[in-house]
Amino acid sequence: MKAPRRSPLALLIAAALAAGAADATALAAAPAAPEAAASAPQVLPTVIVQGLSYGHGTLPSAASVLGRRALTEGQPQINLSETLNQVPGLIVNNRQDYAQDMQMSIRGFGADSPFGVQDLRLVLDGIPLTMPDGQAQSQVIDMPMLGGVKVIKGPFVALYGNAAGGVLEAWTRPAPHRPEATLSTWLGAWGTRQTVLSGGARSGAWSGVAGLTDMRTAGWRQHSQATRRQFNAVLRRDDGGSDRYSVVVNALNQNAQDPAGLTRAELQRDPSGVDPAIVAYDARKTARNRQVGVSWHHRFDASNAMQFAVYDGTRRVVQFLPFSGDFGVSAGGVVDLRDAFGGARAQYTHAGELAARAYRLDAGIDYGRENEWRKGWINDFGTQTGLRNDQYNTVDNFAQFVQAHWQLGSRVELSGGVRHDQVRFGSTTASDSPFGAGSGGGASYASTDPVLGVSWRVGPNDSVYADYGHGFVTPTAYQLAYRPDGKPGLNFALQPMHLRSAEVGWRGSAGVLRVDAALYHVDTDNQIVVYKSIGGRTTYINAGSTRRWGVDLGVHANLPADLHARLAYSLVDVRFVGGPYDGNTMPGVPRQQLDSILSWRPRGVPGFHAALDWQLRSQVYVDAQNSAAAQGWGVLNASLGTRQHTGRWTLHEYMRVDNVLDRNYVGAVVIADSQGRYYEAAPGRNFGVGVELTRGF
């Protein structure tokens, strides 16, 4: 049974849009206020658009912003899972496995990713980290260098193109007003150490910031040692005139052992242990990522501007799986990937008036290209030997988009847009591959996705919004890499997911509270799910449709005695409609999550800060059959620190205790593991300290 094209919430959205239009008509017909009549015709100000960022502050869609303090204060600043769960609807799981990256999902999209990030778009300093196929590595984002993060949810995400489950935009912290250099060190449990050297300066129209990060850990689990080195730099030129330029450079080197998952029995016997095959075949991954991006923004006049951005990069991944891969038509037990990727984007912005009402129009094109050389080798107990696979794969993504905002009245704004994407995959098998016959091919996916929304400012600090739109998510190159039937060649039978999303929300204040709430509904056709995972090699199928609905709630409060509270609550229900798993819950998606933080910054003790963080998570199914689940959990974390300023020196010392109550729980799951090794355990109580020294010049 196919999911209905229209949902009750979609009808609610339509009603809200109609109500907003009616209110706008009434406002347009009303006499103008005297001061407005005497003023010149209103023209919307030119909006500075960073890289692939769309829209502006009044975009009728759910969005959350975290500043540097919320992202880094009192934290090791090693993993995004430390702080991003403060965003309602966003879940970031720490696998305790650096070989597989964080497990990141927004409203359930991306929850079953076996490694890296899929179904979502990641952007750093305006340059996309997500490849044209929809796959990304969150570890490229260097936490100590972060200045802010914006998470966009809802239908307007479709204007970013493929991987329309959500968007995470991150920015490097801006250059300081006077030159400074910072050296920081974090020392934690299991030999974890991170050292960061960073600095920045301004000179006239130029500003720049750069940082080097070195992280090492022996790992809590057996066979989980990792090292990571990163470089991040941003150079900008802005003289206040018509032109702005920026250059962004990122580099990542990471070596990590892969402990993989545990069965229920293994988890109960020793949650820090590993399967013997992991050690015997020395399961591990090496990743190298280099990327550079350049953007130019030119303002013609007060109403017209353009932006152009280009980026280029390379990636090398070598992964040793816990088996030999020398059987049948197997592609091998060692995966060797070399990627070259790049792209360009051009956008034109025009502001003016239509029917005496201000509007802004953005139009442009996106292009991305990925070339992948994929080889497979035999894993001879940790040593790479005979060739099993040799492929050359390509991905192209070409898109055109237009977006408009029209101020229908003093309180109502109508927003809409449409984007057309065409994503093409191609594969050619080299002549030296043992399984060359019939294993090449290609696929092309296209989608035209409209969105429409209305926002209504009901008071000085209160607004409501409603939106509806379509989106799509293509299979990633990894999801296409292996066929469920075990035969050689790419899984071109896999079809893209098509989304129909509706949302209503409220942003406002209620006494000492600031509230951001959203109710949403999403119908998805051709839901892509994990079919089977064998030793880190995963195959996928389309499993009919899914229907999801949920609530995101964020609350901030300034309390007496210099206390501050922040709460992020998520409720999401994702169920299969029709297909082989009809009525079951989507694996990897907890129905509820709560992240609540109580912080204290006494004004009488400048520089002092302390916080308690209580995280709760409901159970998570491990496969689409719902045959087993990881139990829900609650964890308490605590931190405190202090800063001292002396002349040009600033010293910041802080300490942290995670899992204060020493709970045993599963932090992440491996979806549909064929051997039942679903569970990736989290550590018990652990302690760390950090010191940061800054010198101004």
CB-CB contact of 425 with 492 (8 Å)? yes
Residue indicated by tokens 């098998």: 429
Confidence of residue 681 (pLDDT cuts 50, 70, 90): very high
Give 367-398 as a DSSP string.
Answer: EEEEEEEEEEEEESSSSEEEEEEEEEEEEEEE
Residue 485 confidence (pLDDT): 84
Residue indicated by tokens 């809409």: 416
Domain count, the chain: 1
Nearest-angstrom CA–CA distance, 333 and 325: 4
Nearest to 683 by CA among 648, 639, 633, 613: 633
Residue 471 confidence (pLDDT): 95
Residue 162 confidence (pLDDT): 86
Nearest-angstrom CA–CA distance, 199 and 174: 10
Residue 55 confidence (pLDDT): 38
The mean pLDDT value for 320-333 works out to 90
Residue 693 confidence (pLDDT): 98
DSSP 460: T
Residue 37 lies in a domain: no
Residue 1 lies in a domain: no
Asked whether the predicted pLDDT for residue 38 surpasses 60, the reply is: no
Written as one letter, the residue type at 33 is A
| Tokens matching residue 442 | 């290609």
Asked whether the predicted pLDDT for residue 141 surpasses 90, the reply is: yes
pLDDT, tens only, 438-459 = 567 889 999 999 999 999 999 8
CB-CB contact of 389 with 331 (8 Å)? yes
Residue indicated by tokens 């890296």: 116
Written as one letter, the residue type at 368 is G
Residue indicated by tokens 């032109």: 243
Asked whether the predicted pLDDT for residue 6 surpasses 50, the reply is: no
| Tokens matching residue 408 | 């229908």
Confidence of residue 436 (pLDDT cuts 50, 70, 90): low
Phi-psi group of 696: left, alpha or beta (phi > 0 → left; psi -120 to 50 → alpha; rest → beta): beta
pLDDT, tens only, 514-553 = 999 999 999 999 999 999 888 668 899 999 999 999 999 9
Asked whether the predicted pLDDT for residue 323 surpasses 50, the reply is: yes
Strands 167-172 and 121-124: parallel
Strands 679-681 and 243-257: unpaired
Q: What is the pTM of this model?
A: 0.89
| Tokens matching residue 311 | 């980026």
Nearest-angstrom CA–CA distance, 300 and 57: 23
Q: Which residues of 98-131 are buried (b: 16+ CB within 10 A; e: fewer)?
A: bbbbbbbbbbbbbbbbbbbbbbbbbbbbbbbbbb
Residue 403 lies in a domain: yes
Q: Using CA atoms in the order 366, 371, 376, 381, what is the torsion angle rounded to 10 degrees?
A: -70
Residue 360 lies in a domain: yes
Residue 477 confidence (pLDDT): 87
- CATH number, domain of 440, equals 2.40.170.20
Residue 439 confidence (pLDDT): 67
For 523, the domain range is 8-30+42-696
Residue indicated by tokens 């899914």: 546
Tally of residues, the chain: 697
Asked whether the predicted pLDDT for residue 169 surpasses 70, the reply is: yes
Calculate what percentage of the chain has a pLDDT beyond 90. 79
| Tokens matching residue 382 | 């940790």
Nearest to 246 by CA among 131, 348, 364, 126: 126
Element (H, E) at 28: helix 8-29
Alpha helices in 220-306 (DSSP H): 264-269, 276-280
Phi, psi dihedrals of residue 437, rounded to the nearest 5°:
-65, 120
Instruction: Please provide the average confidence, as pLDDT, over all residues in the chain.
Output: 89
pLDDT, tens only, 619-676 = 999 999 999 999 999 999 999 999 999 999 999 999 999 999 999 999 999 999 989 9
Nearest-angstrom CA–CA distance, 189 and 184: 17
> Between residues 296 and 44, which one has the greater pLDDT?
296
Written as one letter, the residue type at 600 is W
3-state percent helix, strand, coil for the chain, nearest multiple of 5: 10, 55, 35
| Tokens matching residue 548 | 């999801």
Residue 453 confidence (pLDDT): 96
Rg, the chain, Cα only: 25
pLDDT, tens only, 77-131 = 999 999 999 999 999 999 999 999 899 999 999 998 888 899 999 999 999 999 8
Nearest-angstrom CA–CA distance, 153 and 634: 26
The mean pLDDT value for 274-293 works out to 96
Calculate what percentage of the chain has a pLDDT beyond 70. 91
Half-sphere exposure of residue 571: CA atoms within 13 angstroms, side-chain side: 8
Written as one letter, the residue type at 380 is D
Asked whether the predicted pLDDT for residue 53 surpasses 50, the reply is: no
pLDDT, tens only, 225-264 = 999 999 999 999 998 899 999 999 999 999 999 999 999 9
Neighbours of 174 (CB within 10 A): 15
> Between residues 624 and 490, which one has the greater pLDDT?
624
Residue 475 lies in a domain: yes
Q: Which residues of 569-578 are buried (b: 16+ CB within 10 A; e: fewer)?
A: bbbbebebbe
Nearest-angstrom CA–CA distance, 417 and 156: 8
Nearest to 503 by CA among 459, 447, 455: 455
- Cα–Cα separations (whole angstroms), residue 664 to 85, 101, 289, 356, 632: 20, 22, 35, 63, 11
- Cα–Cα separations (whole angstroms), residue 426 to 442, 491, 497, 629: 4, 11, 19, 37
Residue 2 lies in a domain: no
User: Which of 32-46, 257-271, 295-309 bottoms out in mean pLDDT, i.e. has the lowest?
Assistant: 32-46
Phi, psi dihedrals of residue 266, rounded to the nearest 5°:
-65, -40
Residue 35 lies in a domain: no
Asked whether the predicted pLDDT for residue 12 surpasses 80, the reply is: no
Residue 43 confidence (pLDDT): 37
Residue 438 confidence (pLDDT): 54
Residue 334 lies in a domain: yes
| Tokens matching residue 318 | 């070598």
Residue indicated by tokens 């430390």: 82
| Tokens matching residue 234 | 């941003």
The mean pLDDT value for 336-340 works out to 95
Residue 117 confidence (pLDDT): 92
pLDDT, tens only, 196-227 = 999 999 999 999 999 999 999 999 999 999 99
Nearest-angstrom CA–CA distance, 291 and 340: 10
